[in-house]
Homo-oligomer: A and B are copies of this chain.
């Protein structure tokens, strides 16, 4: 069975699908390495944001840009199946942004992000950046298998989604650097156990950094911004 979404049916009707899929992932990996070099040549660190639809990726970005958008050179690559909505929201913050639409696919891939890098490069002074955020398609499964050339991968789970998500989506958590619990100002309204979510996430991936954020209320945002600044300093 191939280890990602949509590429097989469970009775093994198509044996050659695994082979085709492996070559597809190899081609993606190759482009991802090129993207990483490309991003570094732009002076930047790139962050790949993965979550279910509606976990608050765009909202986190909006509030992050409100805090540091005028201090750091930030670019945003937005991924969606359809619509320009997220890019429209980010554009209002006055930073270089591009909307990539996958036309059906449930994840970004490295060749598409390569186009995105050129698009934001064209919008920036001398093509230089400190941070590039790549907001993946809202999906907790498919994006996990596709390296985009990022340096940091962050998985967001919002409080309304439930604390069982790490256990249910182990591959996604295995490959992440940060686990961010979002909408934490709503904890009293939901049956969400922070302890359960964190424990399970760390069991899957002991190296995970965990953050708790409620972006609109500002809860936990200082830690997040501190993390981003540290990331840039380390990169220098």
Please name all residues of chain B whose beta carbon is closer than 8 Å to the beta carbon of A167 when the two chains form the complex: 82-83, 85
Structural contact, B106 and A106, CB atoms closer than 8 A: yes
Structural contact, A103 and B1, CB atoms closer than 8 A: yes
Structural contact, B160 and A183, CB atoms closer than 8 A: yes
Q: In residues 156-195 of chain A, which contact B (Cβ within 8 Å)? A: 157-158, 160-162, 164-165, 167-171, 183, 186, 189
Tell me the interface secondary structure of chain A in the complex. Answer: loop
Does A139 make an interface contact (CB < 8 A)? yes
Does A31 make an interface contact (CB < 8 A)? yes
Does A122 make an interface contact (CB < 8 A)? no
Does A64 make an interface contact (CB < 8 A)? no
Please name all residues of chain B whose beta carbon is closer than 8 Å to the beta carbon of A146 when the two chains form the complex: 9
Does A69 make an interface contact (CB < 8 A)? no
Does A230 make an interface contact (CB < 8 A)? no
Known contacts A54-B165, A140-B53; A28 and B9 CB within 8 A of each other: yes
20 extra A-B contacts, CB within 8 A, seeds A5-B106, A53-B162:
A3-B104, A4-B106, A6-B107, A6-B142, A8-B24, A9-B31, A11-B111, A13-B24, A14-B23, A17-B20, A53-B165, A54-B157, A85-B164, A138-B140, A138-B168, A139-B139, A141-B142, A142-B142, A186-B189, A189-B189
